[in-house]
């Protein structure tokens, strides 16, 4: 079982237009809504593949009701913590060439009691989970060290913890030594505070974090796949797709595939191959739709234990 904590979930509205022009009226060619937020997406992706998962999230206001309805309709087990504020709605603007522009709201103001209730619900839900995963940005009112505080409390129960966040919460979480982190290219560069133009640079940065005590550093690299680094191995995997539609939630699906693989006892290389397949499949789907088992079929994957350090990353 993989328990996800999403302190700042969102209703994701994806709007498809021909081309984005700042300051102009655009007529959408289509739109859809999905329940979102990074941990919610990880749980949705796991549930869509028959994996055992539980999503812990705050729920408040009309958007909170909608979130609960959408998760129930998608068959995603959840534990929602009532909060006074309304959940946020994030908008993605998608252009036919795959360009994605995201507008993310800050989310509701949480009180200290609501934050405590969220952490308590997560620990209570963890039970005998294989992994607890804290994902995404933090809403106003949540302390910046929320993930850093989660790590030792989960680990005290003998459960592995993964964190996927960005900005100020991430270095604090990293200092608490989670078992796994999943930064994307940009987030890793921000963590180590220098640009990482090549795969060799990403490898070196990930190795630094592993040396600091993080067991698994999995870096998602968009179309360049992902690099997984542990104390004794490195794996680069890349899945090829021909028709990218929406990158929204691809990183979350990649993380879901990785944790699913690792918790099923797959070797790191196979787990990473699954991860990039789930991520790439998500990119072929509209909005933040998550892949079903059929969506994973026929996606070619290359995996190597000797990544090319000179590869220039896009």
- Segment 122-141, which members bind ligand FBP (CB under 6 A)? 136-137
Q: Which residues contact 48 (CB under 8 A, 6 or more apart)?
A: 74, 290, 291, 292
**Residue choice 54, 252, 275, 280 for contact with ligand FBP (CB under 6 A):** 252
Selected catalytic residue, list 12, 164, 224, 252? 252
What size, in residues, is the chain?
314
Name every residue whose Cβ is closer than 8 Å to that of residue 181 and which is 6 or more positions away in sequence.
162, 163, 164, 170, 173, 174, 209, 214, 216, 217, 218
Chosen residue from 43, 179, 263, 288 binding ligand FBP by CB under 6 A: 288
Taking CB under 6 A as the criterion, the residue among 5, 14, 16, 37 binding ligand FBP is 37
Residue 241 interacting with ligand ADP (CB under 6 A):
yes
Which residue's CB is nearer to ligand FBP, number 4 or number 179?
4
How far apart CA 44 and CA 42 sit, in angstroms, is 5
Residue 226 interface partner, choices ligand ADP, ligand FBP, none, CB cut-off 5-8 Å depending on type: ligand ADP
In the complex with ligand FBP, which residue's Cβ is closer, 12 or 63? 12
- Is residue 252 part of the annotated active site? The answer reads yes
Q: Which does 63 bind (CB under 5 to 8 A by kind): ligand FBP, ligand ADP, none?
A: none
10 interacts with ligand FBP by CB under 6 A? yes
Q: Which does 89 bind (CB under 5 to 8 A by kind): ligand ADP, ligand FBP, none?
A: none
Q: Check binding of 139 to ligand ADP (CB under 6 A).
A: no
Nearer to ligand ADP, 130 or 241 (CB): 241
4 vs 49 by CB, closer to ligand FBP: 4
Q: CA geometry: angle at 170 spanning 284 and 65, to 5°?
A: 60
CB of 302 to ligand ADP, least distance (A): 11
132 and 103 Cβ atoms separated by less than 8 Å: no
Identity of the residue, 128 or 294, whose beta carbon is nearer to ligand ADP in the bound complex: 294
Decide if 291 contacts 253 (C-beta within 8 A). Answer: yes
CA dihedral 241, 269, 4, 208 (to 10 degrees): -110
Q: Which is nearer to ligand FBP, 23 or 75 (CB)?
A: 75
Instruction: Indicate the residue whose CB is closest to ligand FBP.
Output: 36
The residues that touch ligand ADP, with contacts defined as CB under 6 A, are: 184, 220-223, 225-226, 239, 241, 244, 247, 250-251, 254, 276, 279-280, 283
The residues that touch ligand FBP, with contacts defined as CB under 6 A, are: 8, 10, 12, 36-38, 41, 90, 104, 136-137, 166, 247-252, 288
Active site amino acids: 252
């Amino acid at each position: 079982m993989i328990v996800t904590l999403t302190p700042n979930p969102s209703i994701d509205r994806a709007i498809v237009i021909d081309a984005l022009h700042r300051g102009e009226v655009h007529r959408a060619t289509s739109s859809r809504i999905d329940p979102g937020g990074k941990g919610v997406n990880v749980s949705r992706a796991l549930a869509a593949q028959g994996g055992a998962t539980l999503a812990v999230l705050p729920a408040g206001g009309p958007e909170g009701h909608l979130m609960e309805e959408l998760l129930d309709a998608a068959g995603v087990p959840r534990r929602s913590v009532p909060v006074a504020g309304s959940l946020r709605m994030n908008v993605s603007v998608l252009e036919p060439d795959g360009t994605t522009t995201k507008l993310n709201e800050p989310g509701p103001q949480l009180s200290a009691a609501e934050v405590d209730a969220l952490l308590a619900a997560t620990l209570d839900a963890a039970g005998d989970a294989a992994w607890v995963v804290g994902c995404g940005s933090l809403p106003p009112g949540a302390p910046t060290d929320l993930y850093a505080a989660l790590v030792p409390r989960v680990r005290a129960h003998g459960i592995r913890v993964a964190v996927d966040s960005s900005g100020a919460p991430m270095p604090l979480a990293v200092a608490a030594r989670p078992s796994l982190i999943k930064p994307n290219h940009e987030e890793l560069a921000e963590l180590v505070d220098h640009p990482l133009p090549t795969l060799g640079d990403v490898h070196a940065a990930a190795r630094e974090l592993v040396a600091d005590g993080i067991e698994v550093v999995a870096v998602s690299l968009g179309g360049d796949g992902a690099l997984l680094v542990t104390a004794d191995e490195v794996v680069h995997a890349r899945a090829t797709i021909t028709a990218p539609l929406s990158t929204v939630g691809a990183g979350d699906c990649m993380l879901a595939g990785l944790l699913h693989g690792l918790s099923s006892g797959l070797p790191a290389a196979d787990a990473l191959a699954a991860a990039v397949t789930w991520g790439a499949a998500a990119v072929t789907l509209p909005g933040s739709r998550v892949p079903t088992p059929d969506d994973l079929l026929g996606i070619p994957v290359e995996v190597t234990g000797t990544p090319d350090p000179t590869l220039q990353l896009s």
